[in-house]
Structure 1
Amino acid sequence: MASSEKVPRRHTQKMKQRLKETVTYLREDIRKVDEPRLAAMLETSAEVLSGLIKAFDDYEKKNGSAWRKSA
């Protein structure tokens, strides 16, 4: 009996949504700050999280050699 708690896609979907929300907040805050270094750090953080979102996508789609089962 597979509970929804054990379904990997459910977890990846939830995490991707949380990461996307955080990326949105970070990018909104860039426009609110006057400090260039902080703006750069916020943008860098958004880019890093976007990379994690892509990694979750790749995992779901089994893209990339890291996510394929070895024979």
Structure 2
Amino acid sequence: MQDVDTNNPLVHAVNLKEAFNMLIDHLRKDVERVEDPSAKALFEVAAEVLEGLKKAFTDYEQKNEAAWDT
């Protein structure tokens, strides 16, 4: 993730999606590393939530939802 000095929200959206991807990858790797079933479930749920956020940011970038089409 880059620290970009811009007021362009699309640049920030792309940056945040990269951060989400890094966290998603980290969580999914940790699911394989830990033994505790509760921790596995927590990490997988967290990854899924971040996937949803990433989709919302993609929809914002692409103006796929009426809420973002302003």
Q: Which residue of 2 aligns with 1:18?
A: 19
Aligned alpha-carbon RMSD (Å): 0.9
Q: Secondary structure at the match of 1:6?
A: coil
Offset, 1:56: 0.4
Q: Which residue of 2 aligns with 1:8?
A: 9
Bigger Rg over Cα: 1
Number of aligned positions between the proteins: 66
Structure 2: stretches of 5+ with no match in the other structure = none
Taking structure 1 as the reference length, the TM-score comes to 0.88
Taking structure 2 as the reference length, the TM-score comes to 0.89
Offset, 1:65: 1.6
Q: Which residue of 1 aligns with 2:48?
A: 47
